[in-house]
Amino acid sequence: MKKTVLITGSSRGIGRAAALRFASESAALENLQKDSYNIVITCNKNTKKLGEVKDAVESLGCPCLAYTGDLSCSSNVRQLAGLTAHEFGAVDILINNAGASYVGLLTDMSDIDWNNIINTNISSIFYCCREFIPPMVSNKSGCIINISSIWGSLGASCEVAYSASKGAVNSFTRALAKELAPSGIPVNAVSCGLIDTDMNSIFSAEELAGICEEIPCGRAGTPEEAAGLIYSVSQQPPYMTGQIITIDGGWS
């Protein structure tokens, strides 16, 4: 029997690494004649890169559905749900990873910049959870993992909107966990520190070196390390719920 994993924002970075991790684990599980995975991946615009991830997932013997669309639009989420149900049935593991960042003074932010951060980082999670939770509740089974950031707890200068959105992700996670606990559906968040992804390409090499000096481990984390934690959280019993689990090299 196969479980279906949906990973949003998976054309690159942590989402890509998570898709490949689940695909690798699926191959191992099949060899053991245990439950394996179908994988659904999404991106906002970069269909080419998403297609490359799909090819990589399928090369590991794992069925994969790729969807391109802005998940901060509820109609797109409904379309994604329909395609997923037709291809694989209900979603068993929902990983809300799609995200955007903005670095700059709050007073320099436009309305468009603000709305993009809030819609991408928190509204998309609301729409995806609202769409995919009902079958989980009916089946008394499922798992939700939201990808957050240490700035959601600590706040970062020149990243006010991003910090606010990730703080909302943390509160959303804790509250939804209480709501779904009676149905046996755990809801947790993985809170990342500095991870070596394209999102951090806005920083110069000198700036990144300065940040790494503040991290006890002395370096950025890798997407594969974050993906490993995401996979581990997905395997925990439902009694572990409402947790914000940090991976940041000891930074916070």
Q: What is the pLDDT of residues 35-64, one digit of tens each?
A: 799 999 999 999 999 999 999 999 999 999
**What's residue 119's pLDDT?**
97
**What's residue 108's pLDDT?**
97
**What's residue 166's pLDDT?**
98
**What's residue 228's pLDDT?**
98
Q: How high is the mean pLDDT of the chain?
A: 95
Contact 39, 95 (CB under 8 A): no
Percent of the chain at pLDDT above 90? 91
Contact 150, 248 (CB under 8 A): yes
162 is catalytic: yes
Q: In this predicted model, what pLDDT tens digit does every residue of 184-235 receive, in sequence order? A: 999 999 999 999 998 887 788 888 899 999 999 999 999 999 999 999 999 9
| 50-57, Cβ contacts within 8 angstroms, sequence gap of 24 or more | 50/10, 50/11, 53/10, 53/11, 53/16, 53/19, 53/20, 56/19, 56/20, 56/23, 57/19, 57/20, 57/23
What domains can be seen in the chain, in order of their start residue? 2-247 (3.40.50.720)
Q: In this predicted model, what pLDDT tens digit does every residue of 159-173 receive, in sequence order? A: 999 999 999 999 999
Q: Rounded mean pLDDT of 233-251?
A: 97
What does the alpha-carbon distance between residue 183 and residue 142 come to, in Å, rounded to a whole number?
9
**What's residue 194's pLDDT?**
94
Q: In this predicted model, what pLDDT tens digit does every residue of 121-136 receive, in sequence order? A: 999 999 999 999 999 9
Q: Is the pTM of this model over 0.85?
A: yes
The yes-or-no verdict on residue 120 having pLDDT over 80 is: yes
CA 101 → CA 2, 94, 149, 230, distances in Å?
A: 34, 22, 11, 21
Choice among 127, 162, 231, 239 that is catalytic: 162
Question: How confident is residue 158, by pLDDT bands cut at 50, 70 and 90?
Answer: very high
What does the alpha-carbon distance between residue 60 and residue 51 come to, in Å, rounded to a whole number?
14
Percent of the chain at pLDDT above 70? 100
Q: Which residues lie closer than 8 Å to 51 by C-beta, 6 or more apart?
A: 66
Smallest Cα–Cα separation from 99: which of 11, 2, 172, 1?
11
Q: Rounded mean pLDDT of 172-177?
A: 98
Of 125-129, 152-156, 198-202, 246-250, the poorest mean pLDDT is in 198-202
